[in-house]
Structure 1
Amino acid sequence: MQSVLRAIYPPVCMGCGEMTEADHGLCGACWRDTPFLGGALCDLCARPLPGETEPGLRCDSCLVAPPPWRAGRAVLRYRDGGRRLALALKHGDRTDLARPLGRWMARAAADLARPGMLLVPVPLHRGRLWQRRYNQSALLAARIARELRLDHCPDALWRRRATDSLSGDAEARRATLDGAIVPHPRRGTRLAGREVLIADDVLTSGATLAACATAARAAGAKEICVIALARAAPDA
C-alpha cells in the first residue's frame, strides 16, 4: 500500500514542489537557499553574533535590556527560503508545513524542555483568526509539544484587543501591545507554578513574545523560555 501511495503522491519539496527523495524535505536548491541559524547566537534572542559559539552568549541589546524570559531559540534566519516558508505557513494556507517546521523547532528547543513544562503559542485575535482560519503559532506549538512530549494549552493566553501590524522600533512595538495579551480568563490558570515555553513563527524585536511572557508571569508562571521558527534581525 505504501508503494502505491508513493506512486500516486510522490514526495515533493515543501519549498518549490519539485520531487524529492523523502517527505517533508527540501530539494537541493531550496536547501541551499534556506538560511538555518548556526554558529554564535545570543542565548536570549537567537540573534547571530560574531566570533566563536559558547554557552550563555548575549547580544548587546539583551545585555542592556534583557527580555522577560530565561532563554530563546530559533531555527531560521527570516530571509530567502526561511522567509518564504514562514510566509507560506502564515498567509499561504500551507498548514501542512506546520509538521516539518514544528519538528525543526522541537530540535532547536530540545535543550529548553523540562518535565512538566507547558507549551503555549502566541495568541491570535479572534478577528484575525476568523479571517485566516488558523493560528500558525498554535499549529507549530502543537507539533513541538508532540515531539518533545510536553503539555500543551493552545489558549492559555488571550489576545483581547486587536492590534495593527507591528512597526517601528522596539519601544513603539511594546506600546502597541501594551495590555493586548493577557492570561485567558479560564485556561490561564494552567500557567500558575509552571515552567512555560512560548512558541511563535517569527521573532523580530521580541515585543510580542515579551507581552506573552509578561502575561504568563502575571498568571503565575515560574520560568519562561521562547522558541521561534525564524529570527528577523538587521544582521540576520
Structure 2
Amino acid sequence: MSEHGLDEDADLRGALQPQAGLFRRALARLSDIVMPPVCLVCRTPIGGHDALCAACWREVDFIRPPVCDRLGLPMPFDITPFGADGPMISAAAAADPPPYGRARAVAAYTGGMRALIHGLKFHDRHDVRRLLGRWLVEAGGEVIEDADLIVPVPLARRRLLLRRFNQAATLSQEIARLTGLRYEPMALARTRATASQVGLSRAARRRNVSGAFAVPRRYAARVAGANILLVDDVITTGSTVGACARTLLRAGAARVDVLALALVTDHATVPS
C-alpha cells in the first residue's frame, strides 16, 4: 500500500473514533434505561454502575490507619513514638507473630462487606468483582507495590466443583488486571481436603490446615526468590493464610504478604 493510502486509512480511523465513542455512550444510556444501575447490596436504583447506595456504603466498616503493621488490625490510636520510624505492632502480633510479613484488608467482616462477600461466594454475584477489585488495590497499595506475583489461596477440589470458581482467584484476577502484576493461580495447591473452619478454635484451625498446601514442582522456580502477594476473601484467625505462607516460604519465596477483602477484628488490642 502506498504512503498516501496509509495516510487515508489513518484519517479514516481518526474520523471514526469520535463516532465510536458517541455510539458507546448512547448504548450505555440505552442500557441504563432498559436495566437501570442498582446498588450491589440492596438492589436499590442508583446513579452509577459498580457502586453502593449511600445507606449500604455506610454499612461497610472500612479499615483505615492506624493499623498493626503485621496483622492489619485497626488500632485505636497511633502508638509509634513521636518522630520515630518503624512498624506499629498490636498485642496480638507481638504475642503470636504470623509467618507472613504483612496483612492488609479492606474492611471488617461485618455489614455491607459481609453481604458483598456472601453474594460473591454463595450466590454467583460476579457483578461485585470490579468494585471489590478497586477496593483491594486501594487498601493494599503498600503490599502490592512490593509484590512480584499474585497467588490466590486455593480451594479444595470438592468445594471448587460445587462452587465452580475460587473467589480468591477471582479477586486475584481483578488485582492483576488493575495493576499489571503477574498472576499465578496454580503456584499453590491443596494437597488434601480440610474440614470447614467455621466454629473451630484458633488451635483447631491451625491443626486443620497444617500440611494442607504445597507448591507444585513445575512452579517451584517461579516461587523461589519471589515477593508473593497471597490473596483471600476473609482473614479470621490467620490460620489458612499462615499455612499458605509457610508453604510458600519453605519453597523459597523471599517474602509473603497477604491481602484480603475482610478481616475479623474482634481481637485487636494495643500492647501494654
| Structure 1 counterpart of 2:30 | 4
Q: Return the offset for 1:235.
A: 5.1
When normalised by structure 2's length, the TM-score is 0.82
Match of 2:55 in 1: 29
Of 238, 242, 258, 1:226 maps to 258
In 1, the alpha carbon distance for the partners of 2:51 and 2:267 equals: 27
Alignment of 1:200-215 (within 5 A): 200-215=232-247
What code does the residue aligned with 1:147 have?
A: L
Residue in structure 2 matched with residue 65 of structure 1 by the alignment: 96
Q: Normalized against structure 1, the TM-score is what?
A: 0.94
CA contact (8 A) 1:75 1:229 kept: yes
1:76 aligns with 2:111: no
Bigger drift between 59-68 and 122-131 goes to 59-68
After the TM superposition, which residues 110-121 of structure 1 pair with which residues of structure 2 at under 5 Å, given as runs? 110-114=141-145, 117-121=148-152
In 2, Cα distance between equivalents of 1:193 and 1:175? 28
Whole-angstrom distance in 1 between the partners of 2:79 and 2:106: 16
Kindly state the Cα deviation for residue 53 of structure 1 after the two structures are TM-superposed.
7.3
Choose 42-51 or 140-149, whichever is displaced more: 42-51
CA 1:60–1:116: 2 relative to 1, 3 Å: closer
Whole-Å Cα distance in 2 between the matches of residues 73 and 2 of structure 1? 35
- Give the secondary-structure state (helix, strand or coil) at the position aligned to 1:22: coil
SS at match of 2:144: coil
Letter in 2 for 1:3: R
For 1:121-140, list aligned pairs within 5 A.
121-140=152-171
| Residue of structure 2 equivalent to 1:94 | 125
CA distance in 1, matches of 2:260, 2:220: 21
Deviations 1:140-171 (A, max 9, x none): 01101111210001111001111111143322
- CA–CA separation in structure 1 for the residues paired with 2:63 and 2:50: 19
Where is the helix percentage greater, Structure 1 or Structure 2?
A: 2
1:162-177 aligned within 5 A: 162-166=193-197, 167-177=199-209
User: 1:41, 1:57 within 8 Å by CA — same for their partners in 2?
Assistant: yes
User: After the TM superposition, which of the residue ranges 161-170 and 171-180 deviates more from structure 2?
Assistant: 161-170
Question: Paired residues, what number?
Answer: 236
Listed one character per residue, the Cα deviations across residues 123-145 of structure 1 (whole Å, up to 9, x for unaligned) are: 00111100000000000011011
Question: Where does structure 2 lack aligned partners over 5 or more consecutive residues?
Answer: 1-26, 81-85
Percent of aligned pairs sharing the same letter = 39
- Asked whether 1:160 is paired with 2:191, we answer yes
Ranges in structure 1 where 5+ consecutive residues have no aligned partner? none
Aligned residue number for residue 5 of structure 2: none
Tell me, yes or no, if the aligned pair for 1:48 and 1:235 is still in contact at 8 Å: no
Deviations 1:191-228 (A, max 9, x none): 11111000000001001001111111122111111101
Following the alignment from structure 1 to structure 2, what is the Cα–Cα distance between the partners of residues 53 and 90? 37
Contact 1:157–1:188 (Cα < 8 Å) also in 2: no
Q: Which residues of 2 match residues 176-215 of structure 1 at below 5 A?
A: 176-215=208-247
CA RMSD of aligned residues (A): 1.7
**Paired amino acid for 2:249:** R
Q: Would you say the 8 A contact 1:110–1:148 is kept in 2? A: no
1:122–1:157: 8 Å Cα contact kept in structure 2?
yes
